[in-house]
């Protein structure tokens, strides 16, 4: 790619017009960057300001009440810490199940020849796009019957069947997992299950990491299903608490506390993202269409 870039660039240096276009594109990019970050900047500023400062109007300078807001949120009526622990537990468990079992499913399709293989692959691709919302009704009835209502397991266990994660794993295997390697393991007398756990899974680590992050974030942000499944305050996840904050008569609230709570649900994800953004941005492409 780099070589091509230079070739073409050499031929088209038309001077001024390129400069003008470059200037325009930087201008647009800066505006877009501003539009993306402005809201989070305001959120951060407002999370540091007290209720009375907030009612006085907006200023772009942070204030000194970050810790105060934090303490009042901690002592407030919303169980935010339990909420965060619940969200964290469900998201980690979902990510673990989704990646491990999707790798296993992809391996079954990738490494073996069997009659139902093609049909199975086609089937998974076809159901990949069907949203969980359309089966939510039956899902709620089902978990009511099998005693999983109001239970985090109802949100975790279904992650075993994650067609989108499977698709990514399959794509990744096609490009990186040679069948000869599996043959070699067989000749060395490794059992199929052991080969999968000790050779395939370690080789798939980069893909597993990317999909673990995606599954984690999706679950962390998920609002629709958890809101229908979890009823006890002690079991609720952060998005449900945010929605409750919205339905409470929020004008009576300490606004500093409200901003603090929003910041509390958003900033952990931003922090993680800043560390692993390269892998995430790269992962978007492979999961979508082939380039």
Partner 1 sequence: MNKKSKVVRYNKWGYIFLIPFVVAYLVFQMVPLVSTVYNSFFENYRAGLMQIGPNYIGFENFKTIITNGDLPTYLQNTLIMWILGFIPQILLSLLLGAWFTDPSLRLKCQTFFKTVIYLPNLIMASAFAMLFFTLFADSGPVNSILMQIGVLSHAYKFMSHVWSVRSLVATMNCLMWFGNTTILLMAGMMGIDPSLYEAAQVDGATSTQIFYKITLPLLKPILIYVMITSLIGGLQMFDVPQVLTNGTGDPMRSSMTLIMYLNKHLFSKNYGLGGALSVFMFIITGILSLIVFKFTGKEDKDGR
212-251 residues near partner 1, rule: CB under 8 A: 217, 220-221, 223-224, 227-228, 238-239, 242-243, 245-247, 250
Residues 63-102 interacting with partner 1 (rule: CB under 8 A): 101-102
Selected binder of partner 1 within 27, 77, 85, 117 (CB under 8 A): 117
Distance CA 86, CA 95 (A): 14
Residues 147-166 interacting with partner 1 (rule: CB under 8 A): 157-158, 160-161, 166
Contact range with partner 1 by CB under 8 A, out of 62-70, 71-79, 88-96, 124-132: 124-132
Our CB check for partner 1 shows the closer of 18 and 71 to be 18
Angle value at C-alpha 178, between 1 and 284, nearest 5 degrees: 45
Q: Is 126 in the site for partner 1 (CB under 8 A)?
A: yes
Residue written as token pair 């089966």:
135
For residue 20, give both structure tokens: 């003008």
Helices 163-176 and 255-287, interaxial angle, to 10°? 40
- From the CB of 124, what's the least distance to partner 1, in Å? 8
Q: How many residues bind partner 1 (CB under 8 A)?
A: 106
Contact range with partner 1 by CB under 8 A, out of 13-21, 63-71, 73-81, 88-96: 13-21
Distance CA 148, CA 88 (A): 19
Q: Is 32 in the site for partner 1 (CB under 8 A)?
A: yes
Residues 180-209 interacting with partner 1 (rule: CB under 8 A): 186, 192-193, 196
The closest of 168, 198, 175 to 186, measured between CA atoms, is 198
For residue 26, give both structure tokens: 């930087």
Distance CA 108, CA 170 (A): 10
């Amino acid at each position: 790619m780099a070589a091509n870039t230079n070739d073409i660039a050499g031929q088209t240096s038309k001077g001024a017009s390129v400069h003008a276009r470059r200037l325009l594109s930087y201008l647009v990019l800066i505006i877009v960057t501003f539009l993306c970050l402005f809201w989070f900047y305001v959120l951060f500023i407002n999370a540091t300001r007290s209720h009375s400062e907030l009612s006085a109007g907006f200023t772009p300078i942070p204030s000194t009440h970050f810790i105060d807001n934090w303490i009042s949120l901690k002592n407030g009526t919303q169980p935010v810490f339990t909420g965060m622990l619940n969200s964290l537990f469900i998201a980690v468990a979902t990510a673990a199940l989704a990646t491990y079992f999707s790798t296993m499913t992809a391996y079954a399709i990738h490494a073996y020849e069997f009659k139902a293989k093609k049909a199975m692959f086609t089937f998974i691709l076809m159901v990949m796009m069907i949203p969980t919302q359309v089966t939510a009704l039956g899902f709620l009835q089902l978990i009511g019957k099998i005693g999983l209502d109001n239970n985090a397991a109802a949100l975790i266990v279904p992650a075993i069947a994650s067609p989108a994660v499977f698709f990514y794993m399959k794509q990744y295997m096609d490009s990186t997992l040679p069948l000869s390697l599996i043959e070699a393991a067989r000749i060395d007398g490794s059992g199929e299950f052991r080969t999968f756990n000790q050779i395939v899974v370690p080789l798939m680590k980069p893909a597993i990491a990317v999909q673990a992050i995606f599954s984690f974030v999706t679950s962390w942000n998920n609002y629709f299903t958890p809101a229908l499944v979890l009823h006890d305050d002690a079991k609720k996840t952060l998005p449900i608490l945010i929605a409750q904050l919205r339905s409470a008569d929020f004008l009576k609230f300490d606004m500093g506390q409200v901003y603090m709570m929003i910041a509390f649900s958003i900033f952990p994800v931003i922090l993680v993202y800043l560390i692993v953004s390269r892998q995430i941005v790269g992962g978007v492409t492979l999961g979508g269409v082939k380039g």
